[in-house]
A and B are shown apart, each in its own frame.
Chain A
């Protein structure tokens, strides 16, 4: 079987299942199909890993994006398992009607299609279209409950997301304008592999302005600080599986776009260094989000701010560059995706069990719902960066590599991390160990996805397989 087919499969399976799922009204059948489709996509993504195909004019699978593709399809699959139980509860309580359910599953796969397409695209235009598609799908999902809050969140997401999309497209056009005199008119001026080879001859001034638009545009999607306003609302008001996918995947896809353009710009000696811009945005996001964590009253909103914080760290580390910081950033990104989605799996069931998302009304979880409660404890301990879990290692690497190069920046970074750590521990204490409040009724929950993610994060903290280390080191060297 030729490898090109695996790329097509990674795209075609979600696209076809989106169409099929739109027609199925039985929620048992459609959630089962959703899981199966996600599993198949994951298998084909792994197949890509085994034997990467040759790049074509439209598709490219290389050592950098394969990491993103596998992570994307893996979390997509586990979230679909979680989603099946979550949705069953939503149907029972009547928050979602069968019509909306069809829509929900179709949009889930449409979003997976958009994200996979963005990751395998070898064309800056196609990538833009794909990210836009994934964003539109998530906007619709965020508004699916149709409450006041959900509509406000979706509207805000739509407006800010559109501005981001517009900036990113303008940047994309500028890259083409810069490439056109060198590589000629038409398609070649948008192909990553061509751009990467010839970028040294491009007009640096155009590239500079293009990168600023692209960083702001895709940075809006990453949730970087001045442009983050949509993110907490979208996380808090949409269905929880969508919060998990937003934090775990969509932010990464936008980050991937930024990284690609960063590598492009770094290859042109006369263009500005993209690093300092990313460092600034990352650090601002981290510190801002760390302080905002203290004032949250809504549990999903709190973890959304934690996502902004982590994306800040990751963008900061990629901005620092160099083998160690890039390695740490890749590891942090992987660990954050796994941990944050595990946390949202727990939070989704907790909110269903307690019937609220207000932190004040959720207390003593380890007593009322021990498995969920301890799952949340593990997840928060991991996300706060305590040893021996995976995020501790990556954060340690980020801080120590920064310290050896820019001690002052490292101080700011460490301060941000500590502030965020304090906020998370403070909240965790009341959530997990306070005097029990609210319903004690057991809830139908799927624990497997949550503990599978946590086990991976825990395992990675203790022992990283040498093959993975070598792989990440290799990718880190590509990123420069």
Chain B
């Protein structure tokens, strides 16, 4: 049974990494948002499984928050937002997909090497989870770097936060304070983003971050 429990946790965390890769090569925003919702659903499933095997009922709450907010509320509002702004048909990618995927593979390899080596003493479950979580985090970071659209960057950031939650739940018995605040901060972060996107749209008629670069305060 212990073996099965471990395998399922492993499978779910591994699929999160896989879905992170899928996000990297989505060049259209609606598809990207869908994949992000899938990412959130997988995270929620993974957290639920952790709650089950660790016997930590409070983690179910974290799972619920991930499911409701990140898999439904946020994707739906983002979709509405991009339709309103008329950018839902745009195709964008700064760096070529091939290069980005290779970079992503390198990052995953890096996080495996680092995390598996240093966590030799830790609980095997936490160990695998941390390695996957770091991969998701780095892939999220990669996505933020390669996207020039503000919505894409925000989704990259949220997938990065998913990696953090995976790490937090994998660390056995980590106090609830942190999880709720993580979830809460994501919510706050989203409100912030919402305000920003709204303002940016109002002022620039575009959420392309390159448009922002023109207004560097440095230039006279």
Closest to B181 in A: A129
Interface size class of A (residues with CB under 8 A): 35 or more
Q: Which residue of the partner chain, among B122, B178, B209, B213, contacts A177 with CB atoms under 8 Å?
A: B122
Q: Quick one: closest B residue to A203, CB to CB?
A: B121
Give the segment of A66-74, A145-153, A246-254 that binds chain B: A145-153
Asked if B160 is an interface residue, CB under 8 A from chain A, the answer is: yes
Which residue of chain A has the shortest Cβ distance to B156 in the bound complex? A159
Q: Roughly how many angstroms separate A439 CA and B200 CA in the complex, as a whole number?
A: 33
Complex contact A170–B177 (CB within 8 A) = no
A40 at the interface (CB under 8 A from B): no
Give the shortest distance, in Å, between A40 (CB) and chain B (any CB).
27
> B189 contacts which chain A residues (CB < 8 A)?
136, 162
B137 cross-chain contacts in A, Cβ below 8 A: 166, 170
Please classify the interface of chain A as helix (H, G, I), strand (E, B), loop, or mixed, using the class held by over half of its residues: helix
For the complex formed, measure the closest distance between the CB of B129 and the CB atoms of chain A, giving whole angstroms.
10
- One of B24-32, B64-72, B89-97, B164-172 contacting the partner: B164-172
Complex Cα distance, B16 from A436, in Å, reads 63
Q: How far is the CB of B153 from chain A (nearest CB, A)?
A: 6
B36 CB-CB contact with A under 8 Å: no
Contact, CB under 8 Å: A151 / B171: no
Q: Are B175 and A209 in contact (CB under 8 A)?
A: no
Are the C-beta atoms of A153 and B173 separated by less than 8 Å?
no
- Which among B5-13, B37-45, B74-82, B112-120 touches the partner chain? B112-120
B141 at the interface (CB under 8 A from A): yes
0/1 interface trace, chain B 194-216, chain A, CB 8 Å (1 if under): 01100110011000010011011
A185 contacts partner chain B, Cβ-Cβ < 8 Å = yes
Q: A129-B185, A185-B172 are in contact. Are A206 and B118 (CB under 8 A)?
A: yes
Cα(A298)–Cα(B217), bound, Å: 8
With A and B bound together, what is the CA distance between A140 and B213 in angstroms? 19
B107: chain A residues at CB < 8 Å are: none
Tell me, yes or no, whether A354 is within 8 Å of chain B by CB.
no
Q: Is there an interface contact between B174 and A162, defined as CB atoms closer than 8 Å? A: no
Q: How far is the CB of B57 from chain A (nearest CB, A)?
A: 14
Is A237 interfacial (CB-CB < 8 Å)?
yes
Residues of chain B lying within 8 A (CB to CB) of residue A136: 185, 188-189, 192
Could you tell me if A148 and B171 are in contact, using CB atoms closer than 8 angstroms? no
Measured between alpha carbons, how far is A155 from B48 in the docked complex, in Å? 34
Which residues of A in the span 171-185 have a Cβ within 8 Å of any Cβ on B?
172-174, 176-177, 180-181, 184-185
0/1 interface trace, chain A 441-454, chain B, CB 8 Å (1 if under): 00000000000000
In contact, B161 and A140 (Cβ under 8 angstroms): no
Contacts of A166 in B (CB 8 A): 137, 140-141, 157, 160-161, 164
Interface contact A209-B114, CB-CB below 8 Å = yes
CB distance from A195 to the nearest CB of B (A): 13
**Given the complex, which residues of B lie within 8 Å of A203, measured CB to CB?**
118-119, 121-122
Assuming the A-B contacts A129-B181, A185-B173, are A174 and B117 also in contact, with contact meaning beta carbons closer than 8 angstroms in the complex? no
For the side of the interface on B, what is the size category?
A: 35 or more
A125 in contact with B217 (CB, 8 Å): no
Q: Contacts A163-B141, A177-B126 hold; do A139 and B172 have CB atoms under 8 A apart?
A: no
Q: Which residues of A are found within 8 Å of B3, using beta-carbon distances?
A: none
Q: Give the shortest distance, in Å, between B48 (CB) and chain A (any CB).
A: 19
Specify which chain B residues have a CB less than 8 angstroms from the CB of A236 in the assembled complex.
217
* A154 interface contact, C-beta 8 A: yes
Partner of B212, one of A152, A174, A298, A360: A152
Q: Quick one: which of B117, B121, B216 contacts A181, CB cutoff 8 A? A: B121
In the assembled complex, the Cα of A172 lies from the Cα of B171 at a distance in Å of 11
Per-residue 0/1 for B103-140: is the Cβ within 8 Å of any A Cβ (1 yes, 0 no)? 00000000000110111111100100010011001001
Name A151's contact: one of B173, B181, B212 (CB within 8 Å). B212
With beta carbons under 8 angstroms apart, the residue of B120, B123, B171, B196 that contacts A143 is B196
Asked if B141 and A151 sit within 8 Å, CB to CB, the answer is no
Task: Establish whether residues A149 and B122, one from each chain, have CB atoms under 8 Å apart when the complex forms.
Answer: no
B192-A139 in contact (CB<8A)? yes
Q: Say yes or no: B215 contacts A148, CB within 8 Å.
A: yes
Which segment, of A91-99, A186-194, A282-290, A343-351, faces chain B?
Answer: A186-194
**17 A-B pairs in the complex with CB atoms less than 8 angstroms apart:** A125-B178, A129-B185, A151-B212, A158-B196, A163-B157, A174-B130, A177-B126, A180-B173, A184-B173, A186-B175, A190-B175, A190-B178, A203-B121, A205-B118, A205-B119, A301-B217, A301-B218
Other than the given A132-B185, A173-B171, A205-B117, 20 more pairs (CB < 8 A) read A149-B217, A151-B199, A151-B200, A151-B212, A158-B196, A162-B189, A163-B144, A166-B140, A166-B160, A169-B168, A170-B137, A170-B164, A173-B168, A176-B174, A185-B173, A189-B175, A190-B174, A203-B118, A205-B118, A208-B118
Report B's interface with A, CB cutoff 8 A: 114-115, 117-123, 126, 130, 133-134, 137, 140-141, 144, 150, 153, 157, 160-161, 164, 167-168, 171-175, 177-178, 181-182, 185, 188-189, 192-193, 195-196, 199-200, 203-204, 209, 212-213, 215-218, 220
